[in-house]
Structure 1
Amino acid sequence: MIALVLERQGELALREIDLPTTVGPDDVKIAIDTVGVCGSDVHYYTHGHIGAFVVREPMVLGHEAAGTVLAIGERVRGLKPGDRVCMEPGVPNMSSRASKLGIYNVDPDVRFWATPPVHGILTPEVVHPAAFTYKLPDTVSFAEGAMVEPFAVGMQAATRARIVPGDVAVVIGCGPIGIMTALAALAGGCSQVLISDLSAPKLEIAGRYPGITPVNISTASLKDAVDAATDGWGADVIFEASGSPRAYTGIFDLMRPGGVLVLVGLPVEPVAFDVPASIVKEARIETVFRYANNFDRAVNLIASGKVDLKPLITETFDFTDSIAAFERAAKGLPADVKLQIRMPGRN
């Protein structure tokens, strides 16, 4: 079937490619409706690799998706043709030690859409395990359904932080994941979240949400803003979501004694980490790699109306314009938060 294929670094094509179509007994076949353009997709396009994951042969892109069930396997229960769904893109080995520990996201054998050598889902139809397919409530649109995957990263970050009601949090980085981490932190009980960046348009979008205070670090001091919000005590939780090595300079100055630093952004360059500063604060340090056991909770939060992701969708492209969507995403325009791609003929 036709798909958006990353032929090699810097080269995309909309072309026919042979993809699996057989529905196994525990699988569902899904007609794709909406797919989000993720930063990792763009990074594979522009750089050809992310760490040890290297594009060595043509690969279909896309892993943030929602659609409609077309067919189900004989053992599938709880889903039927016509159901609107979103899909968790990482499929682990459920008998692995990591899966048995409940941390299937770090299973070494996990197969994750659009992560070499696994194909993604920017194509009209896909076959996926029913166990990692989630029904969307009527109140959740396909566009919102395609946002569940990145929001699940924010949910994982908030969960790892072990937020206590009333906590004050800081999010460094106002990209899609940063904003969704801030929203997850508020939903998890934070009384206030300060979010910092250099992009005034993104900060303006984040600042529209009650409880989020934007801080433009090109004109203001994040440390001063945190001190003002906490009477000089420091934030309970720091989420590093920018991936910038510069963000680590003075990061523990933002934290109260005994606070937590949650690492969400993935730096591509070495980071200077101030170990003595972390020890003096007796900081707890957590890391986030994708998510585990929270996709359904992310759907429920969106359906409840407590988290509104619609303002983060900047523009939707037709599938036929997928290459243009990626070219736009690669530019990193300041006002762009989330770009999405929609399949033709979908209602």
Structure 2
Amino acid sequence: MKALVLEEKHRLSLRDFPIEETMGPLDVRVKLHTVGICGSDVHYYTHGGSGIFQVKAPMILGHEASGTVIETGSAVKTLKAGDRVCMEPGIPDPNSRASRLGLYNIDPAVRFWATPPVHGVLRPTVVHPEAFTFKLPDNVSFAAAAMVEPLAVGVHGATKAKIKPGDIGLVIGAGPIGLVTALAALGGGCARVIVADVDDTKLAIAAGLGAITTVNVRARDLTEAVMKETDGWGVDVVFECSGNEKAAAGIFDALCPGGCVVYIGASGEVIPYNLGKAMVREARVEHVFRYAHVFPRCVAMLSSGAINVDPLITRTFSFEESVEAFEIAATSPSGQVKMQIAMPE
């Protein structure tokens, strides 16, 4: 089948790719409709790997996806051909200790789309377990459904933060993950969220998402801005979504006593951690690796209107433009939040 293939670092091709997938009794076959471009996909393209995951053979990219069921296994009960769906891209070992504890996202054996050596979904069809395939309400578009995967990261982070109604949150970084985290924080009960970044266009998008105050950290000191907004107390929750070691260095400065820090942004660098500042606040610190048990929540919030991801989708390419799309994404263009690829009808 024709697919977007990462041949090696800095080399993509749109070509026929031999891939065989066996349908099990609990599997469905999905025709892809929309696939989002994630920062991890771009990182594989620009760096040839990420940490322990290195691209050693041609690999199909893409893991943020929606589509339509076209075939079901003999034991599938919840889905049928014609159902519109989104798919959770990580498949754990159901018998692993992590999975049995409910922590399937940190199962060391999890197989995740577009994470070497597992192929992604920038291709016509994919076979996927029924248990990780979720039916869409009629009022959730394919484009919004392809945003469920990144939104799940934000919702997982908001869940880990244990937000209380009326909390004030701070999100560092206004990229796709930062903005879905801001939406999740508001949806989870935050009265207000402060979003910090250096890109005025992204900050303008953030300001239109709800009760959000923005801070361009090139123009204003973030801690001073936060203290002004909170009458000198600090925010209840800080979500670090930038993955930037400099941005994360002062993460406790804006936190109120007894507050919570959630590290979400991935970084290839060592992030400094000021133990003294954390201790005097008795800060609670959480970390996020992907997500678990949140896809149905995300779909429900999109359907109810509690969260609207449409403003984050800033550009859509055709499948034939996939290589160009990744080349543009690799330049980190100003103002672009989420770019998506529309698959052939």
TM-score class normalised by the smaller sequence: over 0.9
Does residue 319 of the first structure (1) align with residue 319 of the second (2)?
yes
Amino acid at match of 1:173: G
Unaligned runs of 5+ in 1: none
Amino acid at match of 2:2: I
> Which residue in the other structure is 2:227 paired with?
227
Q: Given that residues 169 and 193 in structure 1 are in contact (C-alpha distance below 8 angstroms), is that contact kept between their aligned partners in structure 2?
A: yes
| Distance in 2 separating the partners of 1:255 and 1:172 | 12
- SS of residue in 1 equivalent to 2:226: helix
| Distance in 2 separating the partners of 1:251 and 1:143 | 33
Q: Given that residues 249 and 271 in structure 2 are in contact (C-alpha distance below 8 angstroms), is that contact kept between their aligned partners in structure 1?
A: no
Q: Given that residues 27 and 127 in structure 2 are in contact (C-alpha distance below 8 angstroms), is that contact kept between their aligned partners in structure 1?
A: yes
What is the CA-CA distance between 1:228 and the residue it aligns to? 1.8
- SS of residue in 2 equivalent to 1:14: strand
Does residue 272 of the first structure (1) align with residue 291 of the second (2)?
no
> Which residue in the other structure is 2:160 paired with?
160
Q: Given that residues 160 and 262 in structure 2 are in contact (C-alpha distance below 8 angstroms), is that contact kept between their aligned partners in structure 1?
A: yes
Deviations 1:34-74 (A, max 9, x none): 00000000000000111111001100000000000000000
Amino acid at match of 1:331: T
> Which residue in the other structure is 1:210 paired with?
210
> Which residue in the other structure is 1:116 paired with?
116
Amino acid at match of 1:23: M
Does residue 77 of the first structure (1) align with residue 77 of the second (2)?
yes
Q: Given that residues 174 and 203 in structure 1 are in contact (C-alpha distance below 8 angstroms), is that contact kept between their aligned partners in structure 2?
A: yes
Q: Given that residues 169 and 235 in structure 1 are in contact (C-alpha distance below 8 angstroms), is that contact kept between their aligned partners in structure 2?
A: yes
> Which residue in the other structure is 1:247 paired with?
247
| Distance in 1 separating the partners of 2:210 and 2:3 | 40
Amino acid at match of 1:112: F
- SS of residue in 2 equivalent to 1:252: coil
Unaligned runs of 5+ in 2: none
Deviations 1:242-298 (A, max 9, x none): 000002222211001111100000111112211111111111100000000001100
What is the CA-CA distance between 1:343 and the residue it aligns to? 1.1
- SS of residue in 1 equivalent to 2:170: strand
Q: Is 142-151 or 272-281 further displaced after alignment?
A: 272-281
What is the CA-CA distance between 1:21 and the residue it aligns to? 3.3
| Distance in 1 separating the partners of 2:251 and 2:82 | 49
| Distance in 1 separating the partners of 2:170 and 2:224 | 12
Q: Is 177-186 or 240-249 further displaced after alignment?
A: 240-249
Deviations 1:278-323 (A, max 9, x none): 1111111000000000011000001101111011111111101100
Amino acid at match of 2:143: A
| Distance in 2 separating the partners of 1:195 and 1:150 | 17
Where does 1:1-347 land on structure 2 (aligned, <5 Å)? 1-345=1-345
- SS of residue in 1 equivalent to 2:143: helix
| Distance in 1 separating the partners of 2:79 and 2:101 | 27
Q: Given that residues 22 and 127 in structure 2 are in contact (C-alpha distance below 8 angstroms), is that contact kept between their aligned partners in structure 1?
A: yes
Q: Given that residues 93 and 110 in structure 2 are in contact (C-alpha distance below 8 angstroms), is that contact kept between their aligned partners in structure 1?
A: yes
Q: Aligned pairs, how many?
A: 345
Amino acid at match of 1:270: V
| Distance in 2 separating the partners of 1:242 and 1:20 | 37
- SS of residue in 1 equivalent to 2:261: strand
Deviations 1:186-205 (A, max 9, x none): 00000000000000110000
Q: Given that residues 20 and 127 in structure 1 are in contact (C-alpha distance below 8 angstroms), is that contact kept between their aligned partners in structure 2?
A: no
TM-score (norm 1): 0.98
| Distance in 2 separating the partners of 1:249 and 1:137 | 42
| Distance in 2 separating the partners of 1:250 and 1:124 | 45
- SS of residue in 2 equivalent to 1:214: strand
**Identity over aligned residues, as a percent?**
56
Deviations 1:324-343 (A, max 9, x none): 01001001011100000011
| Distance in 2 separating the partners of 1:248 and 1:67 | 37
| Distance in 2 separating the partners of 1:344 and 1:100 | 39
TM-score (norm 2): 0.99
- SS of residue in 2 equivalent to 1:94: coil
Q: Given that residues 91 and 110 in structure 1 are in contact (C-alpha distance below 8 angstroms), is that contact kept between their aligned partners in structure 2?
A: yes
Amino acid at match of 1:303: S
| Distance in 2 separating the partners of 1:338 and 1:199 | 14
| Distance in 2 separating the partners of 1:24 and 1:165 | 44
Q: Given that residues 28 and 128 in structure 1 are in contact (C-alpha distance below 8 angstroms), is that contact kept between their aligned partners in structure 2?
A: yes
| Distance in 1 separating the partners of 2:248 and 2:124 | 42
Amino acid at match of 2:214: P
